[in-house]
Amino acid sequence: MQRRSTWTQRLTQPKLLAAGDDWDAVRVAADIGVRAVRDLEARGVPVGPVLHDLCSGQTYFLTPPGTAHGWQQDGTRALGAGSWVVLAPPGWDGLLRWVSEPTSGGPAHTATDDLAAALVAAVATVEEAGR
């Protein structure tokens, strides 16, 4: 299991941070993202930090650096080098909330293959619920 990067220790309030060094991020609509987290958890798959931005209705999965370069999945946007994301400190309770906390015992990232599969399952669930 990869050790948590020091970015979490430096935060005392939400702050705009550059993607591409410690992590990349995959942005997806919150309803899909939260379902994907629950799917991963139900299957016992380690989930890295996942942030829910209540203002924009988006979730951000922190993924290994370099993910954005090859990521291609409908309904998502990969954010890597040259992109910025506002992240909150662990335990923050405001308009930014962690669905999966960046804790020292958990993984630093969500594995991209696991994330892709969970997002496909989440989209199918949302589409089926809309029928």
Mind listing the pLDDT tens digit for each residue in 115-126? 999 999 999 988
Q: How many domains does the chain have?
A: 1
Mean pLDDT of the region 6-26: 89
Kindly report whether the global pTM for this prediction surpasses the value 0.85. yes
For residue 16, being part of any structural domain is answered with yes
**In a domain? residue 2:** no
Query: Quick check: is 31 in a domain?
Result: yes
Asked if residues 58 and 95 have their Cβ atoms less than 8 Å apart, the reply is no
Question: How many DSSP H helices and E strands does the chain contain?
Answer: 4, 7
pLDDT of 1 over the 70 cut: no
Instruction: Determine the structural domain holding residue 52 and report its residue range.
Output: 7-129
For residue 78, being part of any structural domain is answered with yes
Q: Which residues does residue 28 pair with via DSSP β-bridges, in sequence order?
A: 59, 76
Distance CA 120, CA 24 (A): 20
Condensed to tens digits (0 to 9), the pLDDT of residues 82-98 reads 999 999 998 898 999 99
Under DSSP, is residue 38 helix (H, G, I), strand (E, B) or coil? helix
Does residue 1 form part of some domain? no
